């Protein structure tokens, strides 16, 4: 019998589940030092969803299991073969006999799955919808205690630059019936945005799945995921992380949108029809984008062209509000996919049009970027599992004839070792519509890149594991701040020692080499090497069932040819306390940091209130402290309070522009309440 695993640990026992979710997200976010904009709230919601609506292993489809971000395709294939050969699982403990399933993987998987007969829509009725449907309502407010420049009246006019108040607000409602019907409503106002005209951001979605031939139906705000993210993928996806072999994308076709990122979604409708062998998806979207305009009679007859599309989603000042919803974007697309077992073959096509022309870029490095009103992209993708090897790939062509491709494989090299090999090649003038692909240059707008990524993950002993990767890239054309073809390399190795459930220690080293322009007499630019070396020591210890301690030390050193070294360090201590049958949890962090410059900054995942996340940049010199208090008012009512403060010792003001604070401290607090019924 599998020791240390309870087959029916209830979701209401949230402490252990919250730790599992946080550890998973922290591991996946652990290499976001480049400041990648990934919406982890979407992953958080997925994991909590599966904790509350567990996945039936006897009826789960491939994409359901892939959504958990736990199993590899080879493990999923082994599970299907086990069920085919021996019949449906009788108990979750039977996973121990599935080829390739190790104890750690089963422990990661256990909170989100169960073994039973699937009901779905087979016994649907409005009475069951009313009785079994779950409601989740959440309200959040936040504020920065110190006054920001945007709230200070102008000495001449007496007006404030920010037209709204000092509080940010967030309200969301979710209804869920089993795994088949989901409805969501989200309302949000950022700090500084006015409420007098209603919430600044409004989002609603209805999602239905597994209704016989209608596999998916999305109405309102939704996201799409196809292939390896090269042709069309506008939702969260992971890049390189400490899970070094998990770089394959696992598309779900359509997905309801539930975040507050005001750009990474479609607004309209989409549907997937078919069966387990053949499916077809159609989708359409029409929404408004923030944009700035300029004059150019060579591009547009009306002398009106778009110079930039704003992605920040902030509408706090008159100028920001003037650009709000200034551009209309229309999206139409479709997908056809054939699947047999673990093998898939599909094609996807997308058309995008704008109400106004996009102006051409004048910079040398930006030659070949999209300009105009209309854009088309078409791609073909395939994936499958052969024995213990998963293979995948996608090729895409934009309307200007440029081509991009990505191919990879993941293989179980040994009972205790797996490896991944991934190749990508993006033409310098490839013009994507919505992408999210493994890339070093730009995962959202991939172009001008050829690279090979190789990784290995090995269980060296019962207590010691190793993850390592190397990524070598060539940029055939110019890049921003690099006026010549250049290269890049990224190498990482991590050893993890886990003697028991209470202790975990890992040590990581990462070395990156890139190129950047050096200017001579402000006239001649030429690229020079820049090397970044990073070391991390991370220790997690639970001295009692109620107490968890998390310590980290991280050091980075940058060397740019011909310039002095830039270095920085970060050290923090986390304390989390939760006692069974006590209705509150407390989390605390104290961090010290010092970096010579912004280029030596360090990132660290921070605990936050539910469905929120924080991965700030630590730079300069100072301290960071935050505390989170969660109180279970009743079985179905939770309250969170979070307060966090930066204290700098190397400056007299923080940030710049309208966000500037006159002083060396910045304090933010968040208050959140959730009701479930």
Q: Is 391 exposed, middle or buried (0-12, 13-18, 19+ CB in 10 A)?
A: middle
Residue 149 per-residue DSSP state: G
Q: Which residue has the higher pLDDT, 239 or 233?
A: 233
The span from the CA of 284 to the CA of 332, in Å, is 5
Three-class secondary structure of residue 561 per DSSP: coil
Q: Which of 63-77, 175-189, 378-392, 434-448 has the lowest mean pLDDT?
A: 63-77
Q: Is the pLDDT of residue 470 over 50?
A: yes
Question: Does pLDDT of 297 surpass 60?
Answer: no
Structure confidence at residue 51 (pLDDT)? 74
Note the pLDDT tens digit of each residue in 616-646: 999 999 999 999 999 999 888 999 999 999 9
| Residue 130: per-residue pLDDT | 84
**pLDDT of the residue at 17:** 66
Mean pLDDT of the 647-655 span: 95
The alpha carbon dihedral of 32, 35, 39, 41 has a sign of positive
Give CA–CA dist 668/641, Å, rounded: 11
Checking if the pLDDT of 452 tops 80, the result is yes
pLDDT for 262:
87
Rg (CA), the chain: 25
In the chain, the percentage of residues whose pLDDT exceeds 70 is 91
Judge whether residue 309 has pLDDT over 60: yes
Query: Is residue 285's pLDDT more than 90?
Result: yes
Domain borders along the chain are: 543-677
Distance of alpha carbon 469 from alpha carbon 242, whole angstroms: 9
- Cβ pair 394, 340 in contact under 8 A: no
Model pLDDT, residue 318: 93
Of 138, 190, 169, give the one whose Cα is nearest residue 640. 138
For residues 357 and 306, the answer to whether their CB atoms sit within 8 Å is yes
Mean pLDDT within 476-491? 92
- φ and ψ at 10, to 5 degrees? -70, 140
Q: Which of 96-100, 328-332, 469-473 has the lowest mean pLDDT?
A: 96-100
- Give the residue from 227, 238, 233 showing the smallest Cα distance to 36: 238
Alpha helices in 422-559 (DSSP H): none
Asked if pLDDT for residue 226 goes beyond 70, the answer is yes
Burial string for 346-375 (b: 16+ CB within 10 Å, else e) reads: bbbbbbbebebbbbbeeeebbebbbbbeeb
Find, among 289, 220, 285, the residue nearest to 257 by Cα.
220
| Residue 669 scores a pLDDT above 70 | yes
The torsion angle over the Cα atoms of residues 646, 507, 244 and 540, rounded to 10 degrees, is -60
State the average pLDDT over residues 6-17. 46
Task: Measure Cα distances from 633 to 142, 584, 638 in Å.
Answer: 20, 9, 6
Q: Which two tokens stand for residue 357?
A: 């022309």
Range 290-319 average pLDDT: 80
| pLDDT of the residue at 11 | 36
Position 164 pLDDT exceeds 70: yes
What is the β-pairing status of strands 278-294 and 266-274?
A: antiparallel
d(CA 181, CA 208): 5
Tell me, what's the pLDDT at 56?
A: 84
pLDDT band at 7 (very low <50, low <70, confident <90, very high): very low
Closest CA to 508 of 541, 470, 488, 534: 534
Q: Tell me which H or E stretch contains 570.
A: strand 566-578
Distances (CA, A) of 672 to 172, 608, 631, 642: 11, 11, 11, 9
Report whether 314 contacts 303 (CB < 8 A): no
pLDDT in tens, 513-539: 999 888 766 666 788 999 999 999 999
Closest C-alpha among 517, 473, 561, 529 to residue 364: 517
Residue 243 has a pLDDT of: 66
- The residue written with tokens 């598309």 in the block is 251
Spatial distance between the Cα atoms of 613 and 25, rounded to a whole number of angstroms: 9
The answer to whether the CB of 206 falls within 8 A of the CB of 218 is yes
Q: What is the pLDDT of residue 38?
A: 61
As beta bridge partners, residue 570 has 554, 593
Q: What token pair was written down for 266?
A: 């479609």
Q: Is the pLDDT of residue 49 over 50?
A: yes
Say if residues 562 and 593 touch (Cβ distance below 8 Å): no
Q: What is the mean pLDDT of residues 645-668?
A: 95
Say if strands 266-274 and 253-256 run parallel, antiparallel, or are unpaired. unpaired
Assign 74 a pLDDT band (cuts: 50, 70, 90): confident
Query: 5: pLDDT confidence band, cut at 50, 70 and 90?
Result: very low
| C-alpha to C-alpha distances, 237 to 105, 265, 401, nearest whole angstrom | 21, 14, 26
pLDDT at 501 over 60: yes
DSSP for 7-52, written as a single string: TT--TT-HHHHHHHHHHHHHHHHTT-TT-----HHHHHHHHHHHHH
The tokens describing 527, both together, are 């690229």
Determine the average pLDDT of the residues in 462-483: 92
At 139 the pLDDT is 97
Average pLDDT of the segment spanning 154-162: 90
Mean pLDDT of 431-447: 88
Tens digits of residue pLDDT in 242-269: 666 678 888 889 999 988 888 889 999 9
As a whole number, mean pLDDT of residues 476-500 equals: 92
Per residue in 534-551, is it b (16+ CB within 10 Å) or e — as a string? bebebbbebeeeeebebe
Separation CA 230–CA 434 (nearest Å): 8
Please give the mean pLDDT across all residues of the chain.
87
Q: How confident is the model at residue 79 (pLDDT cuts 50, 70, 90)?
A: confident
Strand partners, 474: 450, 487
CB 552 within 8 Å of CB 535? no
* Model pLDDT for residues 320-347, shown as the tens digit of each residue: 999 999 999 999 999 999 999 889 999 9
Work out the pLDDT band at 99, boundaries 50, 70, 90: confident
Confidence (pLDDT) at 3: 41
Look at residue 14 in the predicted model and tell me its pLDDT. 56
- The per-residue pLDDT for range 574-627, each reduced to its tens digit, is 999 988 788 889 999 999 999 999 999 999 989 899 888 888 999 999 999 999
Pairing between β-strand 305-310 and β-strand 343-358 as defined by DSSP bridges: parallel
Instruction: Give yes or no for residue 379 having a pLDDT over 80.
Output: yes
89-98, 567-576, 607-616: lowest mean pLDDT where? 89-98
Q: Is the pLDDT of residue 120 over 90?
A: no
Confidence (pLDDT) at 624: 98
Question: Could you tell me if 618 and 603 are in contact, meaning their C-beta atoms sit under 8 angstroms apart?
Answer: yes
Residue 195 tokens read as: 């409420």
Q: Is the model's pLDDT at 2 over the cut of 70?
A: no
């Amino acid at each position: 019998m599998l020791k240390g695993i309870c087959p029916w640990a209830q979701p209401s026992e949230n402490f252990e589940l919250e730790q599992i979710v946080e550890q998973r997200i922290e591991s996946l976010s652990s290499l976001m030092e480049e400041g990648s904009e990934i919406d982890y709230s979407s992953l958080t919601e997925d994991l909590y969803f599966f904790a509350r609506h567990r996945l039936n292993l006897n009826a789960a489809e491939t994409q359901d299991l892939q959504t958990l971000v736990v199993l590899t395709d080879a493990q999923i294939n082994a599970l299907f073969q086990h069920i085919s050969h021996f019949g449906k699982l009788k108990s979750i403990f039977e996973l121990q006999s599935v080829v390739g399933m190790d104890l750690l993987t089963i422990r990661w998987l256990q909170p989100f799955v169960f073994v039973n007969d699937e009901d779905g829509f087979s016994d649907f009725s409005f009475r069951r919808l009313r009785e079994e449907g779950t409601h989740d309502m959440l309200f959040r407010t936040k504020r920065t205690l110190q006054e920001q420049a945007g709230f200070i009246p102008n000495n001449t006019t007496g007006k404030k630059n920010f037209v709204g108040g000092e509080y940010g607000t967030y309200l969301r409602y979710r209804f869920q019936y089993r795994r088949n019907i989901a409805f969501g409503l989200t309302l949000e106002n950022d700090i500084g945005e006015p409420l007098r005209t209603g919430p600044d951001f409004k989002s609603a979605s209805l999602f239905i799945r597994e209704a016989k031939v209608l596999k998916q139906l999305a109405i309102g705000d939704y996201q799409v995921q196809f292939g390896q993210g090269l042709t069309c993928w506008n939702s969260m996806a992971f890049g390189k992380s400490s899970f070094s072999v998990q770089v394959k994308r696992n598309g779900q076709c359509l997905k309801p949108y539930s975040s507050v990122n005001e750009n990474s979604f479609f607004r309209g409708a989409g549907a997937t029809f078919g069966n387990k062998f053949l499916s077809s998806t159609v989708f359409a979207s029409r929404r408004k984008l923030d944009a700035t305009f300029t004059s150019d009679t060579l591009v547009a007859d009306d002398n009106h062209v778009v110079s930039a599309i704003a992605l920040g989603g902030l509408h706090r000042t008159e100028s920001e509000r003037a650009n709000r919803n200034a551009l209309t974007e229309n999206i139409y697309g479709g997908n056809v996919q054939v699947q047999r077992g673990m093998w898939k073959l599909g094609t996807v096509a997308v058309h995008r049009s704008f109400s106004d022309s996009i102006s051409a870029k004048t910079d040398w490095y930006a030659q070949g970027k999209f300009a105009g009103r209309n854009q088309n992209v078409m791609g073909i993708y395939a994936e499958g599992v052969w024995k213990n090897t998963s293979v995948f790939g996608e090729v895409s062509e934009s309307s200007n004839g440029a081509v991009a491709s990505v191919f990879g494989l993941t293989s179980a090299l040994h009972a205790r070792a797996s490896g991944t090999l991934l190749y990508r090649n993006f033409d310098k003038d490839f013009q994507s519509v919505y992408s999210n692909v493994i890339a070093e240059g730009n995962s959202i707008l991939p172009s001008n890149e050829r690279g090979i990524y190789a990784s290995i993950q090995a269980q060296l002993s019962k207590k010691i594991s190793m993850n390592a990767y190397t990524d070598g890239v060539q940029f055939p054309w110019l890049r921003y701040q690099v006026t010549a073809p250049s290269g890049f390399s990224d190498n990482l190795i991590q050893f993890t020692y886990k003697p028991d459930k209470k202790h975990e220690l890992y040590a990581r080293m990462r070395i990156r080499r890139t190129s950047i322009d050096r200017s001579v007499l402000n006239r001649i630019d030429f690229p020079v090497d820049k090397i970044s070396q990073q070391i991390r020591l991370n220790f997690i210890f639970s001295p009692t069932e109620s107490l968890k301690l998390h310590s980290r030390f991280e050091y980075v050193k940058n060397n740019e040819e011909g310039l002095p070294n830039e270095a920085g360090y970060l050290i923090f201590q986390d304390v989390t306390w939760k006692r069974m049958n006590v209705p509150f949890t407390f989390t605390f962090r104290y961090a010290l940091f010092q970096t010579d410059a912004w280029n030596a900054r360090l990132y660290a995942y921070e605990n936050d209130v539910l469905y929120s996340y924080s991965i700030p940049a630590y730079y300069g010199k100072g301290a960071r402290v935050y505390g989170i208090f969660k109180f279970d008012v009743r079985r179905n009512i939770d309250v969170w309070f979070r307060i966090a403060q930066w204290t700098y010792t190397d400056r007299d003001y923080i940030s710049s522009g309208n966000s500037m604070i006159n002083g060396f401290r910045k304090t933010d607090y968040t208050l959140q309440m959730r009701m479930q019924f």
